[in-house]
Amino acid sequence: MIRENPRSDDPSRSSAPLVSEPPNHAAPGARKDNPMGDPGPRGYFGDFGGQYIPESLVPACQELEASFRTAWSDRSFRETLDGILHNYAGRPTPITECKRLSDELGVRVLLKREDLTHTGSHKINNVLGQALLAKRMKKTRLIAETGAGQHGVAAATAAALFGMDCVVYMGEVDVHRQELNVFRMKLLGAEVRPVTTGSRTLKDAVNEALRDWVANVGQTYYCIGSVVGPHPYPWIVRELQTVIGTEARSACREILNGADPDVVVVCVGGGSNAAGTFAGFAGTTAQLIGVEAHGGAAMTRGIPGVVHGMKSMFLQDEDGQILEASSISAGLDYPGTGPEHAWLGSTGRVRYATADDVEVLDAFSLLARLEGIIPALEPAHALAFVIRAARAGEIPSGASVLVTLSGRGDKDVAQVLEVIGP
Ligand SMILES: Cc1ncc(COP(=O)(O)O)c(C=O)c1O
């Protein structure tokens, strides 16, 4: 049963009237060969998604949806974006076959290298698309929330590229954990506003960004960082990240002699790199696995609820209050997940698992030692799952496993040094 218990510190759960519509129990635009389709004007993925927002944001969400629908079907917009992704962000990213790790585990590990993009993570795919849309909508100010800082850095980068003002909201805890990314954002000309409310992490940064958007909706574009928030954001961000899955599927077919990988494993915070990857494989027979942080496992330990403008899965106590997520990786420190994941989990198309901090640190070090690649702590969760499942025989020997390496570990090296020592 859906629980809707407004929290006083969440603007999307304020006393202002909530706008929502009944679920339509299907993704209306879903194609037969791929269940991950267009959620339609109501923005529902099965029972999840929707638009739970104050009245003041309704016109902004409607304008955003209409603008995105027009832009996304406009060939010149798509070509411009493809050009920027290629010439500026470095797409397509390669697939790297991990020979030594594969020998160690007895399964064939392929990495989709989002760590090699400009700014070092998949976040740039989403941000360049949304910033281009913001420009088209004649917005002059870009605001964003960030946890690990990667989305903030990407947003600040896009704002610099397109000549827009940029404000990034970041929980105070994350400001300390990710000092280097805070400095990067400042170098790129963005203002970083530390958020001191609640747990002072990503959830609170989203609240502040939503508040800013409500207050300055005229000239401001809210560039959300994952497949979360009110419709149309979860759909827009998934569409912009589908480039990962599309590229990965065709590259895997070349490497695997026309076959798809047996298993596709991706880390899940809000769920954007996972949604983008899964969109490329949802219509195949590949087994899809999303890996959450043990302390932020909304899909495995959460219950349905309404937060940040969407109906999805959240960690909550019995009174419906949102619990704090806790993880070594700031990017997975979110107590919920995007509504399309809630739906994919409920249909059984995707299995969701968890990895704990100790396994993640082991995976982080193992990939560095065996392959010369230092991963971000977020995708180290996906690797940790693969290592555990391959050693336990849960992934059969010889199976091909695609892992999306969503980001590089530079941002995390100082933190890991503190935890494991020199
Ligand atoms: C490198 C990296 N991977 C994954 C994530 C998690 O985000 P999402 O689940 O939206 O892909 C983050 C978030 O900051 C990140 O920085």
Instruction: Please name the fold of domain 45-79+123-233.
Output: Rossmann fold (3.40.50)
* Shortest-distance Cα residue to atom 12 of ligand 1: 331
Which portions of the chain are predicted below pLDDT 70? 1-33
- The rounded distance, in Å, linking the Cα atoms of 414 and 194 is 20
Q: For ligand 1, pick from 267, 333, 364, 367 the residue to mutate: most ligand atoms within 8 Å of CB.
A: 267
Asked if residue 290 has its Cβ within 6 Å of ligand 1, the reply is: no
Residue ranges of the chain assigned to CATH 3.40.50.1100: 45-79+123-233, 91-121+241-420
pLDDT of residue 106: 98
CATH of 91-121+241-420, one of 2.30.30.90, 3.30.420.40, 3.40.50.1100, 3.40.50.2300: 3.40.50.1100
Tell me the average pLDDT of the chain: 92
pLDDT tens-digit profile of 165-216?
999 999 999 998 888 899 999 999 999 999 999 989 899 999 999 999 999 9
Asked if residue 269 has its Cβ within 6 Å of ligand 1, the reply is: yes
pLDDT of residue 325: 87
Indicate which residue of 25, 61, 118, 122 is catalytic: 122
61 is catalytic: no
pLDDT of residue 28: 52
Using the structure block, give the residue that is written with the tokens 């994919």: 344
| Ligand 1 center to 32 CA (angstroms) | 29
pLDDT tens-digit profile of 237-287?
999 999 999 999 999 999 999 999 999 999 999 999 999 999 999 999 999
Indicate which residue of 61, 98, 166, 267 is catalytic: 98
401 CB-near residues (< 8 Å, 6+ apart)? 107, 108, 109, 110, 261, 262, 263, 264, 265, 386, 390, 395
Asked if residue 263 has its Cβ within 6 Å of ligand 1, the reply is: no
pLDDT of residue 33: 62
pTM value is 0.93
Q: Is residue 56 within 8 Å of 217, Cβ to Cβ?
A: yes
98 is catalytic: yes
pLDDT of residue 30: 55
